[in-house]
Structure 1
Amino acid sequence: MAERKHGIPAPETDSTVYTEDWDREIGERDRHDRVAFIGLDLCETTLDGVKFESCTFRNARFNCSTLRDVAFVNCTFVGCNFFEARFTDCKLVGSMFDRCSFEIMEVDGGDWSFVGLPGADLSSATLTGVRMREVDLTGARCQGAVLRDVDLSGAWLHSADLSRADLRGSDLSALDPTTSEIRQAIITAEQAVVLAIALGVQVRDI
């Protein structure tokens, strides 16, 4: 399993829930703490205002799900599928993703600060207006991804591939162009100055 930042261990869980348990009654609750969800099938499900804290999701399927104002705080996702899942104003602070799939995932707003996405394939994902402070994108594959108006301040971007990604409006102050791939990325003139300064270039008016 991929390690969390600074080697912080995943939180322990106190109970286990399977799809049949979720369908019977567990799914009606609006808060879940320290629960291990195993093989949960949430395909095409809509979740609104539910809070999960220190939970673990293993081999869960969120395909084509709609999540609005849902909180996954300090949660762990292992082998989960988020194909065409849509997150709107969700909070995932401190959560960790390991060997998950994110094809055509959309994220609109919300707070994904301190999230662990090392090595994640986000190449077909669209993230707009998201707060992702100190997110771990080490080695992430974001070729052609849309990361617009994203707060990436303090992000871990070493070896991340951002080639052809649309980065307009995002905070790139933590991006080191010498350790990340950014060829053909789409940025604004203001962002170009930030990257030039990171390269040690002196930017002056004529």
Structure 2
Amino acid sequence: MSAEITDHDLSRHQRWIVGAPDGERQERQNEIFHDLSLLKANLIGARFSHCIFYRAAFRESELNGAIFDSCKFENCTFEDCVLQDSNFIRAVFVHCTFTNGELQSCTFSECTGPDSIFASSSLTKAAFYKCQLRASVFERAKLKRTNFSGCDLRDCVFDDALAERTDFSDSDLRGASIARVQISHTYFTRCGLAGIRGKPKNPESAVITGADCSEQFDGSALVAADRVIASGR
């Protein structure tokens, strides 16, 4: 990913992102933003294309409806931010965290972000399509009607999360931890579940269809549910 190196002056970027009129900050392409520390920034509806964010800290900021197309984020944090209806398209995340965020209906398409952290974030109706998220952390996250489709979720940590009507279709969950996850009407269709770890907390139902439960799969991890529908089809 390449980007034109522009003026890196911190105050200049701060003024543009926080204080400029909407029309001046609607779209940015091929720019690098680094060492930003933004509190309560307004990025509603903004669009970034082929930009790089390096050591950027967003706190209590609003990014509703923002679009990040082919952007790279390295050592970035989103803390207590609102990203409802935002879109990340082919984004790359390196050592990034989303904590206590509101990511309802947020979409991640073909993104790469191993070791990303989504701890304690609300991901209601969020969608992850063909994302590489190995060893990422979704601890205590709210996964209501969240869709993980064709994702690499190997070794991810979902401990203490809420998975309600969550769909993991065609995703690889081998080695993932689901300790104390509250599972309700969640679907594991054509998933890799070998070596999955931990027991869910008071699970209500799980539907496992055409999944790989071989090797060190702990049968009690998901079969502990009150109503499990398992099928080899």
Q: Residue 104 of structure 2: which of 98, 111, 114 is its match?
A: 98
SS of the residue 2:222 aligns to? helix
Q: Residue 180 of structure 1: which of 161, 178, 186 is its match?
A: 186
RMSD: 2.5
Does residue 77 (structure 1) correspond to residue 104 (structure 2)? The answer is no
What's the CA shift for 1:183?
Answer: 2.9
What's the CA shift for 1:16?
Answer: 5.3
Change (3 A) 1:125 1:19: farther
Q: Which whole-Å CA distance do the structure 1 matches of 2:95 and 2:128 have between them?
A: 19
SS of the residue 1:170 aligns to? coil
Q: Letter of the aligned partner of 1:39 in structure 2?
A: G
Change (3 A) 1:28 1:147: closer
Q: Which whole-Å CA distance do the structure 1 matches of 2:186 and 2:163 have between them?
A: 7
Q: Which has the larger radius of gyration?
A: 2
Does residue 137 (structure 1) correspond to residue 162 (structure 2)? The answer is no
What's the CA shift for 1:176?
Answer: 5.7
SS of the residue 1:195 aligns to? helix
Change (3 A) 1:110 1:101: closer
- TM-score normalised by structure 2 residue count: 0.70
Residue 33 of structure 1 is matched in structure 2 by 39
Which consecutive unaligned segments of at least 5 residues does structure 1 have? 1-14, 202-206
Identity of aligned residues (%): 18
Does the CA-based 8 Å contact 2:86-2:106 persist in structure 1? Answer: yes
Is the strand fraction higher in 1 or 2? 2
Change (3 A) 1:197 1:49: same
Residue 58 of structure 2 is matched in structure 1 by 52
Does the CA-based 8 Å contact 1:49-1:68 persist in structure 2? Answer: yes
After superposition, give the CA deviation of every residue in 1:69-117 in whole Å (9 maximum; x if it has no partner): 1011010013322010111110111111133321112221132101111
SS of the residue 1:55 aligns to? coil
Does the CA-based 8 Å contact 2:34-2:54 persist in structure 1? Answer: no
Which consecutive unaligned segments of at least 5 residues does structure 2 have? 1-17, 195-215, 229-233
Q: Which whole-Å CA distance do the structure 1 matches of 2:226 and 2:219 have between them?
A: 11
Q: Which whole-Å CA distance do the structure 2 matches of 1:81 and 1:125 have between them?
A: 13
